Amino acid sequence: MTHKTALRMVAASVALALAGVSGAALAAKVPAGVQLSPKQELVRNNGSETETLDPAIAESVGANNLTRDLFEGLTATDADGKVVPGVAETWKQKDPTTWVFNLRKNAKWSDGTPVTADDFVYGWQRFLDPKTASPYASTYGTFVLNGLEVAEGKKKPAELGIKALDKYTLEVKTPYPVAFLPDVVSNLNLGPVPKAAVEKYGKDWTKPGKMVSNGAFVLKDWQVNSKVVLEKNPQYWDAKNVQLTRVTYLPVEDGYADVKLFQSGENDWVYQLPPGTYDKYKAEFPKDIRNAPMLGLRYYSFNNKDPLLKDVRVRKALSMVIDRDILAKKITADGQVPAYGVIVRGTSGADVTTYDWASWPMAKRVEEARKLLAAAGVKPGTKIKFTYNTSEYHKKMAIFAASEWKTKLGLDTQLENMEFKVLLKKRHDGDFQIARNGWVADYNDATTFLTLVQCKSDQNDNFNCNPKAEELIKQGNASQDAAKRKQLLTQAAKLVMEDYPMLPLLQYTVPRLVKSYVGGYSLKNPMDRYRSKDLYIIKH
Amino acid sequence: MWSYTFRRVLMTIPTLLLVITVCYLMLHATPGGPFDGERKVSAAVMANLQAKYHLDLPLWQQYLYYLKSLLQGDLGASFRYADWSVNDLVAKALPVSLTIGGGSLLISVLIGVLLGTVAALRQNSIVDYFVMLLGNVGSAFPSFVIGPVLILVFAIWLGWMPAGGWDGFDVRYMILPMALLTFINVSTIGRVMRGSLIEVLNSNFIRTARAKGLPLRTIVVRHALKPALLPVVSVIGPLAISSITSAVVTESVFSLPGLGKLIVNGASNRDYTLVLGLVVLVTVVAVLLNLLVDLAYALLDPKIRY
């Protein structure tokens, strides 16, 4: 589950882009009347040991949390998920595929040298260079002219669509109109990289004492599997609006150990509550519990090539009878929202779609589903196989689904659990009938979710393809009119879901405990990306 | 004895080679690779990643490549932790595991032998019942139950100790995990020592010593202790391996940056080089410990000669 990065508010960013926003500092605004603690230090658990501190190859949520504090891209996203100026003060879409970013002149690296357009050119070229082998190269490379060709080694990094017009002006070319580019570039894979440090230290440039960074914080200490300590960067252009002086990231994986550290006061921020404990901790820590939906979808992949499941009537019947309300309220019981489409609430660039039958009474849904199965020639007692990775959480959901299919349709589900990596292999190889799946948005635009159901997409584990929907997506992406684009993408999402390629279940939430004295934590952050820059410690 | 030791050390080489080969093949036969994730990377990116870590070569070439760097003392680059080499990772985790595991083992041997001896000498006394109770509790309750209870009492209720984590070699972070490992090890060592000493005390040569009129103290210290320690020495080998290299549960409960966590994460991430590196380490430790145990036998039992 690599929820990473960037993009938000397409409409807003388009508007900003066209207007050419002015870059006021928008960080850690402490509301009037809030008294700050004299000690501005935060300890936040990061869920696991980061795989790297090199922004070019960062992939996991945890690594991106860290690089987001250490580095700053052209833009950034604030606590509410809005795109705000980063190193770029203003930007403008010169023509449909050309953007110009004007960099602030007071942005500095932690060694005091200025951050220039060349640092971005170097950072982007390095990110897409096949030698760097960044896992995200194709995810973001697709938005930059020649990006994919460079990642594939067919073109040289120098041919990438990014150019320093002068020391503080950057020109970016896209292969097609990318309305949400300001959102994409807030992601640190596309951040600046200090060439001098990389060339001097090689792979070791990310180590304490060697790293040079341009974010609100600098690297102080890194003890593998124990902690990463950041300190406020006095050279940061907006340092006066950074309240925290020290941020310690912990790599605790065990959810219960995480909560115990929270209880004993050694951790201010539980990464994510252990499954099934939301109600318990909500009652125990009413002031500290924080839970909000984010841009993520829990779903089950149907193998559309399977002899039984290639019939759309069977897939539809299986989807219809799952009672998402009971699943959300009684089974997972952690505030998740029922989902009936591939797009989740809060996503920019398309509306949430649903099925007609979602509002029907369950009896009617069951009756219809039975008719569909009968028409498809599937008799009660037919066996289906459900594959998931070993976890109490997934098991509970799987048992619920199997019981729905058994009691309502008379189908016998064989549950098969396995290690995560084995499931991934089976899913990618199409060696399954129905498999657990999940997706967390990389950027806030409908296209990140549409990749799950698009023809020949790397992320499509269902092996479905709807050429008409594909055409609509293409038209939408080519359109410069935000409203038209939204309409086309919504239409595409609706159309492809009428094929029932997969079974949408729930929209993710991130239930966690954050000490009530941690200020600046917003529940309106759809990407679950919290810069420490926006946080502060309230007097307590 | 020296030639015996030398031969044993020499035998380590084929053992290691066999272990590495089997482990290597098993890792590569396991479904799923190091770069498979919920988000599938594109074919081009996968090719780049594989080229970066030499996974694009035929398996036998990769294997030879690995052996070659191993001979140079290089355990390779971690597939998961891109900024560190396996040598770095092991060098950081080993001292933690040695301190927690090795330290607790030393304490356990002292306490376990002492308690076991007292219990054997005072059979069916309060001390004996206590040792037996400890032994049973230690065996019956898994560490993932005792650990959280220790945290609840000493970290959350009393607030004397941190609930977990690691900070340099700050002693406060060591106490609870060491207490847990010590408790579990003492329960085994104490039980074995008690049983073994009782058996020895009932043997003929002890009866002879008693008949000679030797005081109990001399009998125990000079005659009974050595043979009674033999079974204890035998269990110390496996206990040391489990305390130092695979204290996975303890490390997880107390969020410690030790070897156990590294090996489990390495396996689930398909971090081939990291797992292999740790397997090499564990094998060497196991072989050496077994050698030490065998040499200790010779010290304790005059009948054993190498």
Q: A422 contacts in B (CB within 8 Å)?
A: 30-32
Give φ, ψ of B86 to 5 degrees.
Answer: -60, -35
Tell me: pLDDT of A1 over 70.
no
Q: What is the pLDDT of residue B117?
A: 93
Q: What is the pLDDT of residue A28?
A: 57
A482 CA: distance to closest CA in chain B (Å): 28
Taking CB atoms and an 8 Å limit, are A135 and B49 in contact across chains? Answer: yes
Tokens found for residue B17: 């080679």
B178 CA: distance to closest CA in chain A (Å): 17
Interface check A223 vs B, CB under 8 A = yes
Q: What is the pLDDT of residue A453?
A: 96
B52 CA: distance to closest CA in chain A (Å): 7
Which chain A residue lies closest to B261 (C-alpha atoms)?
A225
Q: What is the pLDDT of residue A32?
A: 86
Q: How many CB atoms lie within 10 A of CB A111?
A: 13
Tell me: pLDDT of A21 over 60.
no
R_g of chain B computed on alpha carbons: 24
- Span A399-420, average pLDDT: 96
Q: What is the pLDDT of residue A3?
A: 41
Interface check A152 vs B, CB under 8 A = yes
Reduce the DSSP state of residue A195 to 3 states and report it.
helix
Tokens found for residue B3: 């030639």
Taking CB atoms and an 8 Å limit, are B257 and A419 in contact across chains? Answer: no
Q: What is the pLDDT of residue A323?
A: 97
Nearest to B45 among A135, A227, A420 (CB): A135
- The rounded distance, in Å, linking the Cα atoms of A263 and A447 is 40
Q: Is A142 exposed, middle or buried (0-12, 13-18, 19+ CB in 10 A)?
A: middle
Q: What is the CATH number of domain B94-300?
A: 1.10.3720.10
Q: What is the pLDDT of residue B134?
A: 84
Interface check A261 vs B, CB under 8 A = yes
Let me know: does A102 contact A74? Beta carbons within 8 Å. Answer: no
pLDDT band at A11 (very low <50, low <70, confident <90, very high): very low
- H-run or E-run covering B133: helix B126-140
Taking CB atoms and an 8 Å limit, are B88 and A421 in contact across chains? Answer: no
Taking CB atoms and an 8 Å limit, are A151 and B93 in contact across chains? Answer: no
pLDDT band at B303 (very low <50, low <70, confident <90, very high): confident
Taking CB atoms and an 8 Å limit, are B37 and A151 in contact across chains? Answer: no
Let me know: does B148 contact B253? Beta carbons within 8 Å. Answer: yes
Which chain B residue lies closest to A259 (C-alpha atoms)?
B163
Taking CB atoms and an 8 Å limit, are A226 and B167 in contact across chains? Answer: yes
pLDDT band at A313 (very low <50, low <70, confident <90, very high): very high
Least confident range of A98-107, A409-418, B165-174: B165-174
Q: What is the pLDDT of residue B297?
A: 87
Interface check A225 vs B, CB under 8 A = yes
Ranges A27-36, A113-122, B239-248, most confident: A113-122
Q: A206 contacts in B (CB within 8 Å)?
A: 83
Least confident range of A7-11, A198-202, B101-105: A7-11
B256 CA: distance to closest CA in chain A (Å): 7
Interface check A456 vs B, CB under 8 A = no
Q: What is the pLDDT of residues B16-49, one digit of tens each?
A: 999 999 999 999 998 888 998 888 888 889 999 9
Q: Is A269 exposed, middle or buried (0-12, 13-18, 19+ CB in 10 A)?
A: buried
Taking CB atoms and an 8 Å limit, are B31 and A266 in contact across chains? Answer: no
Nearest to B36 among A59, A425, A459 (CB): A425
Q: What is the pLDDT of residues A147-205, one digit of tens each?
A: 999 999 999 999 999 999 999 999 999 999 998 899 999 999 999 999 999 999 999 99
Q: Which residues contact B231 (CB under 8 A, 6 or more apart)?
A: B192, B195, B196
What are the angstrom distances between the C-alpha of A70 and each of A8, A526, A531, B167? 21, 22, 10, 22
Taking CB atoms and an 8 Å limit, are A227 and B165 in contact across chains? Answer: yes
- Span B70-78, average pLDDT: 92
Q: What is the pLDDT of residues A209-236, one digit of tens each?
A: 999 999 999 999 999 999 999 999 999 9
Rounded to the nearest angstrom, the gap between the alpha carbon of residue A526 and the centroid of all alpha carbons in its chain is 9
Taking CB atoms and an 8 Å limit, are B92 and A264 in contact across chains? Answer: no
Q: What is the pLDDT of residues A498-524, one digit of tens each?
A: 999 999 999 999 899 999 999 999 999
Taking CB atoms and an 8 Å limit, are A421 and B30 in contact across chains? Answer: yes
Q: Which of A54, A126, A224, A456 to mutate to test the interface with B (most CBs of B within 10 A)?
A: A224
Q: The complex's ipTM?
A: 0.89
- The rounded distance, in Å, linking the Cα atoms of A56 and A203 is 12
Tell me: pLDDT of B246 over 80.
no
Q: What is the pLDDT of residue A22?
A: 40
Q: B258 contacts in A (CB within 8 Å)?
A: 225
B94 CA: distance to closest CA in chain A (Å): 12
B134 CA: distance to closest CA in chain A (Å): 26
Average pLDDT of chain B, as a whole number: 90
Q: What is the pLDDT of residues A136-145, one digit of tens each?
A: 999 999 999 9
Alpha helices in A251-332 (DSSP H): 255-263, 278-284, 312-320, 324-326
Taking CB atoms and an 8 Å limit, are A424 and B51 in contact across chains? Answer: no
Q: What is the pLDDT of residues A43-97, one digit of tens each?
A: 999 999 999 999 999 999 999 999 999 999 999 999 998 999 999 999 999 999 9
Which chain B residue lies closest to A153 (C-alpha atoms)?
B44
Interface of A with B in 75-104 (CB under 8 A): none
Q: What is the pLDDT of residues B81-97, one digit of tens each?
A: 999 999 999 999 999 99
Interface check A203 vs B, CB under 8 A = yes
Which chain B residue lies closest to A201 (C-alpha atoms)?
B83
Interface check A209 vs B, CB under 8 A = no
Segments making up each domain of chain B, as ranges: 1-72, 94-300
User: Could you give the angle at the alpha carbon of A330 between the alpha carbons of A328 and A333, nearest 5°?
Assistant: 60
Nearest to A459 among B40, B93, B253 (CB): B40
Interface check A277 vs B, CB under 8 A = no
pTM: predicted TM-score of the whole model, two decimal places:
0.90
Tokens found for residue B73: 């003392």
Which chain A residue lies closest to B82 (C-alpha atoms)?
A52
B33 CA: distance to closest CA in chain A (Å): 7
A224 CA: distance to closest CA in chain B (Å): 7
